[in-house]
Chains A and B, each alone.
Chain A
């Protein structure tokens, strides 16, 4: 695929592969992100997220495959669409001897920004007023992260490529950044590619999620359909779980034991009509004192997907 063959997606990779020696960092990853989409790139540490991001930013040469950003083929050493892209890779580091304002001024000059108050505006947006005269070496991790984000956003980019942007932020900061990214995507049409190792967090931000593990893209899910991928199960507690489980087994309903002393029934019919299970157990002399239909949580789902690959 040449530059002209890019399909109009804002971010696109085809068969992107990178090995470090014999270690597969990224293996044949093909993803596409449309304008205004927030694509969550989910994986454990070392899954290949940062290497993929570095290839998208032209910092690492792929062994094979291609990456396109804003319709332009990314090749290290060649000009890229960097005036349209804001990015944050791994932990945010800034020049320690420069203040917050000086660091941002340096970025604004390197990006040739003509807007006079670009630095003041981004300081205001990221709530860095109190620290603008503080040297970067004295910032907390959370404020360093804010400065990193400010550097990524200062030129009002059309595309944001962010590697774990919530790192080091407190809960209020995480919510703030989440809302900021949503606002950029929904109201300004900014395309966001954001990596994370936290499914529940990324599911609150992203419109689509790609799960990467050991360099492979394992699954892509539209966030609004995420619920359909999650298992539903019925949790039951009786005074005699073993006998209740045997009884249910006799009725063709498999009940497993959980660590917290519950019976776990995954049968879809039982989950849909738990009152029938309740009636069965009461009539058999095992009245439940706890009965709950539970949705699998996102972290469990993520770990299940990852775990199934390692078996």
Chain B
């Protein structure tokens, strides 16, 4: 099984590496990080902006232009954008086999279907982690370039630890999307699913039940949503883990035991 997963993972990485979508997600990660840095720069230097909506927004921003605020801002960004970005990645990895009609080529092979599913999930995790690292590096580079004040190594290490945990929490949300992609046999259903989950995450967060809705939990961890009922407990992490487990199991069952047309 391990050998099958390793071999299949190599193929998945080859497919990802050669795909246009890989470059698009990498470009998006860089772009979004640069935007955050630029926003901080505008807060530091609001006078360089011409009068208009952007200048008004910058003037109304309550965020201070320093490293602590920048890191807080980035954590919120990672928790919110991550749901969409990671959801998109997992939708492509699973949905493309149906959209490109290549699924039938990987169903009756000496490598088990379970190994193929697991290798796809691992490949998705690697790809998502790469996007996270890219966001991290470009954000830090941009912050250094615009010379934000109040830097400290401890602050940086705290940020890396928290953002890494948020990324891991987001990864736990990928398997249910893989299941929807496998059941929906394409990209549309999982992307729709991710958008609905994102909407529900905000709804549950705002009504104080976010700690019990898996897609809100990373946002609560990053303090993107605050207020009553936003404290995470052991139950929150159990719910998130069970959601992940249900997604993995559902996808494996879907690939192994349902009719594949």
Residues of A within 8 A of B20 (CB): 97
Q: Is A111 an interface residue (CB 8 A)?
A: yes
Is B106 a contact of A54 with CB atoms below 8 Å?
Answer: no
Q: Is A60 an interface residue (CB 8 A)?
A: yes
Q: Is B260 an interface residue (CB 8 A)?
A: yes
Known: A96-B100, A97-B20, A98-B18. A58 touches B105 (CB 8 A): no
Q: Which of B1-50 contact A (CB under 8 A)?
A: 7-8, 10-11, 14-15, 18-20
Is B15 a contact of A110 with CB atoms below 8 Å?
Answer: no
Of the candidate stretches A72-80, A164-172, A196-204, A280-288, the one touching chain B is: A72-80
Is B113 a contact of A110 with CB atoms below 8 Å?
Answer: no
Q: Which of A82-112 contact B (CB under 8 A)?
A: 82-83, 85, 87, 89-91, 93-98, 102, 106-107, 109-112
A82 to B257, CA, bound (A): 17
Q: Is A181 an interface residue (CB 8 A)?
A: no
Residue on B nearest A99 in the bound complex, by CB: B18
A76 to B258, CA, bound (A): 8
Q: Is B102 an interface residue (CB 8 A)?
A: yes
Max chain B C-beta neighbours (<10 A), residue from A57, A61, A79, A110: A110
A293 to B100, CA, bound (A): 51
Q: Is B101 an interface residue (CB 8 A)?
A: yes
Min distance, Cβ A159 to any Cβ of chain B, angstroms: 11
Is B14 a contact of A82 with CB atoms below 8 Å?
Answer: no
Residue on B nearest A93 in the bound complex, by CB: B101
Is B106 a contact of A97 with CB atoms below 8 Å?
Answer: no
Residues of B within 8 A of A49 (CB): none
Q: Is B59 an interface residue (CB 8 A)?
A: no
A151 to B106, CA, bound (A): 11
Residues of B within 8 A of A58 (CB): 107-108
Is A112 a contact of B110 with CB atoms below 8 Å?
Answer: yes
User: Residues on A close to B: CB < 8 A?
Assistant: 54, 57-61, 76-77, 79-80, 82-83, 85, 87, 89-91, 93-98, 102, 106-107, 109-112, 151
Question: Nearest 10 A-B pairs (CB), nearest first?
Answer: A77-B256, A93-B101, A59-B260, A97-B18, A57-B108, A60-B259, A83-B110, A106-B11, A77-B257, A89-B104
